[in-house]
Structures are given as structure tokens and as C-alpha cells.
Amino acid sequence: MNYMPPISLHDRLQAVFADALQIAAAQVTDDLAYRGIPEWNSVAHMALIAAIEDQFDIMIETDDVIDMSSFAKAKTIVENYVAP
């Protein structure tokens, strides 16, 4: 049996952000802010939400769509949905 180290939520979410916003993973840091870069605008935000929902198999509520104002905030929000 090969041991696969679990991929952290941080890494998974970072990959989703980089892919959805089409930016380098290195750009996805905790202080990356909504409307802080041209790529993360209101249109991209909804695509990002859909990508996160697909990746984590969750349904994000409206309030959390609005509260997701930074990558750090996104981690906290997604944690709440995936917590057992």
C-alpha cells in the first residue's frame, strides 16, 4: 500500500483559486483580496464559488459568497462546510 499524505485544505483551495482566477499559485496568499487584483472581479467571483463547490462537494450559502473577501476568509468559510 502506498501512503498518500493528505492534501491540506489550504493546498486544495489554493489550486482552485489559481485555476479559477487564472493566476499563479504563488499569488494566492492569505491577504489576496476580492477586487484587490483585476482577475478577481465580481464575474470571476461567481465562477470561483462554483469551482470551490465542485472541488469540495459543498453548497455555499449567499451570505458566505459575500463574506468571501480574501483567501484567508475563504479558508475559514470552506472549513465550516467540510468540517465533519
Partner 1 sequence: MTAPAALPEIDPFAVDPFGQPATAKDEMLCRHLNRLTQHHRQNCAGYRAILDAVGQGAAPASTLDAVPYLPASLFKVAPLQSVPDAEVAQVLTSSGTSGQAVSRIALDRPTAADLSRALVAVVKPFIGPKRLPMIIVDAREAAGTGGAASARAAAVRGFSTFGRDHLHLLGPNMAPDWDALDTFLARHHGETKLVFGFTFVVWQHLYQAAQAAGRRIDLGPAILIHGGGWKRLADLAVSNAEFRGRLTETFGLTAIHNYYGMIEQVGAIFMECEAGRLHTPVFSDILIRDPTTLRPATPGEQGLIQVMSLLPRSYPGHCLLTEDLGSVTGTDDCPCGRPGRTFRIDGRLPAAELRGCSDTRPLSRLDS
Q: Pick from 11, 25, 30, 65: which binds partner 1 (CB under 8 A)?
A: 65
35 touching partner 1, by CB under 8 A: yes
Binding residue for partner 1, selected from 9, 66, 72, 82, defined by CB under 8 A: 66
Per CB under 8 A, 8 contacts partner 1: no
**Exactly one of 8, 29, 41, 76 binds partner 1 (CB under 8 A); which one?**
41
Does residue 17 come out as left (phi exceeding 0), alpha (psi in the -120 to 50 range) or beta? alpha
Binding-site residue total for partner 1 (CB under 8 A)?
A: 18
d(CA 8, CA 23): 20
Q: Which stretch binds partner 1 (CB under 8 A): 4-12, 21-29, 36-44, 72-80?
A: 36-44
